[in-house]
Amino acid sequence: MKTSVEIPDSLFQEVRNLAAQEHTTLRVLMEEGLRRVVSERKRTTRFKLRKASFRGKGLQPGMEGASWQQIRDAAYQGRGA
């Protein structure tokens, strides 16, 4: 398929020079670049938070159902916060 693409003159010159150095064509370099972008975007996996408990058994007694503010206040109790 043929299409027109606008790129900055400076980038065009860099690609043209690279193509000459590598004895290839602009078309080959553009195809390679586009394939890399597509491949990288397909490979991206969703972030998964690892389990990071510290020998605990969940919330301390009396904290179940507590708001974040209540949990924070309990964590800093006696620490001058």
Give the alpha-carbon dihedral of 72, 76, 78, 80, to 10 degrees. -120
Q: What is the mean pLDDT of the chain?
A: 87
Q: How far apart are CA 44 and CA 39, in angstroms?
A: 9
pLDDT > 70? residue 21? yes
64 backbone dihedrals φ, ψ, rounded to 5°: -65, 130
Q: What is the model's pTM?
A: 0.51
- The DSSP output letter for 22 is T
**Contact between 42 and 31 (Cβ < 8 Å):** no
CA distance 31 to 38: 11
| 48-65 per-position pLDDT tens digit | 888 777 777 777 778 888
